[in-house]
Amino acid sequence: MIVSFSFVAFSFAQDSNELMLVTNEFPPYAAFRDGQFSGIAADIVTKLMNQAGYPGKIINDRFVFAVRSSDKRIFSSIDDFKNLQIGVNESTPTAYRLRELGLKKLQMVTSEKFNAKKLVAGNRIDAWYAPYLILKYTIQFEKIAEKEIRIAFHDIEVEMYIGASLSVPDETVALWQRNLGEMKEDGTYQLILSERKRLDQVFTFDK
């Protein structure tokens, strides 16, 4: 079974009676800490694996533009960013989207931490484009004061999915779906996503 997130890649190998979970590290969705993986997506998928799994929708995130808090400009569309220097992580869906939208002044980095530093400390970019949860995690990890950054524009919502190969039996798919429903009914799903709610309380999106 193949799990396809926008950023976190989980995969399951089905061998007779076994399922093996494999993931890469991409906080805050999945991170390797104290000898085990944890994180919003990893916790949900692990819980589902323990209950026999689920091959459908998992979680939503959003692509956003962040600017320095001292930047008081109002941004009402993507066009407002076309003449600005935008920091974005190369070889990611965010970079691909900005290219597709025709933005030319892109400063590519290999890690979001460089975007954070270039925006706040170096003033070398005008805006930072990233998934919201990753942006928030990076700020916390790099110990950057949250008051230094303002979310200036909310671009698009993105959904993350688990995909199953056609060889997975229908009854297995149905079991995953049923177990996710039970997670939502007993509050487990909402408890895991509460981390997202706490993050949303920090930044206020400009309207």
The span from the CA of 36 to the CA of 31, in Å, is 8
Domain assignment of residue 13, yes or no: yes
69 in the same domain as 147: yes
pTM of the model: 0.63
Domain assignment of residue 170, yes or no: yes
pLDDT tens digits, one per residue of 34-76: 555 567 777 777 677 666 543 444 756 789 999 999 999 999 9
| 132: number of Cβ within 10 Å | 23
What pLDDT does 53 receive? 46
133 in the same domain as 110: yes
- The count of structural domains within the chain is 2
Q: Which element (helix H / strand E) includes 205?
A: none
Q: How many CA atoms within 13 Å lie on the side-chain side of 64?
A: 22
Is residue 181 pLDDT above 70, yes or no?
yes
Is residue 8 pLDDT above 50, yes or no?
no
pLDDT tens digits, one per residue of 140-162: 888 998 899 999 999 988 766 66
Domain assignment of residue 172, yes or no: yes
Specify the higher pLDDT residue, 54 or 193. 193
Q: How many CA atoms within 13 Å lie on the side-chain side of 2?
A: 5
Determine the average pLDDT of the residues in 4-14. Answer: 36
164 in the same domain as 121: no
What pLDDT does 9 receive? 34
Domain assignment of residue 124, yes or no: yes
Is 114 in contact with 86 (CB distance < 8 Å)?
Answer: no
Return the SS3 of 63: strand
- Note down the domain range covering 79: 61-157
CA distances from residue 60 to 95, 99, 113, 145, 193 in whole angstroms, order as listed: 19, 22, 22, 25, 10
Domain assignment of residue 206, yes or no: no
135 in the same domain as 95: yes
70 in the same domain as 54: no
Domain assignment of residue 101, yes or no: yes
pLDDT tens digits, one per residue of 84-122: 999 999 988 899 899 999 999 999 999 999 999 999 987
133 in the same domain as 70: yes
101 in the same domain as 84: yes
What pLDDT does 49 receive? 65
Domain with residue 9: its CATH number is 3.40.190.10
Domain assignment of residue 79, yes or no: yes
148 in the same domain as 67: yes
Structure-token pair, residue 160? 């993350």
100 in the same domain as 67: yes
The span from the CA of 169 to the CA of 149, in Å, is 48
What pLDDT does 80 receive? 96
55 in the same domain as 67: no
What is the separation, in whole angstroms, between the first and last Cα of the chain? 40
What pLDDT does 171 receive? 83
What are the backbone dihedrals phi and psi of residue 206, each rounded to the nearest 5 degrees, phi first? -65, 140
Residue with tokens 């061998």: 15
150 in the same domain as 73: yes
Specify the higher pLDDT residue, 115 or 172. 115
33 in the same domain as 83: no
Return the SS3 of 204: coil
Is residue 170 pLDDT above 90, yes or no?
no
Domain assignment of residue 207, yes or no: no
Please spell the DSSP secondary structure of 190-202, one letter per residue. Answer: HHHHHHHHHHHTT
Of 12, 16, 3, nearest to 59 (Cα)? 3
